[in-house]
Amino acid sequence: MSDSENFDPLGSKKNYEAQERKFPRGVVIRLFAYLIAGHVFAAFLYLLFAVAGKG
């Protein structure tokens, strides 16, 4: 018997469920970087307006 005869196109349910819960590593890293960059930018704008408001 060859491997193609035993191939299950739906895969095992356990393997599919485990894979469904995980995010790809690149997405997690990009999301983390965007969150950090967004907060740094927001802090810069806050500081900019706080300093400008005192003048």
pLDDT digits (tens, 9 = 90+) for 5-41: 776 666 666 665 666 778 899 999 999 999 999 999 9
CA atoms within 13 A on the CB side of 37: 6
Residues of the chain by 3-state class (helix, strand, coil), percent to 5: 80, 0, 20
- Against a cut of 0.75, is the pTM above it? no
pLDDT reported for residue 32: 96
pLDDT reported for residue 51: 96
pLDDT level of residue 1 (50, 70, 90 thresholds)? low
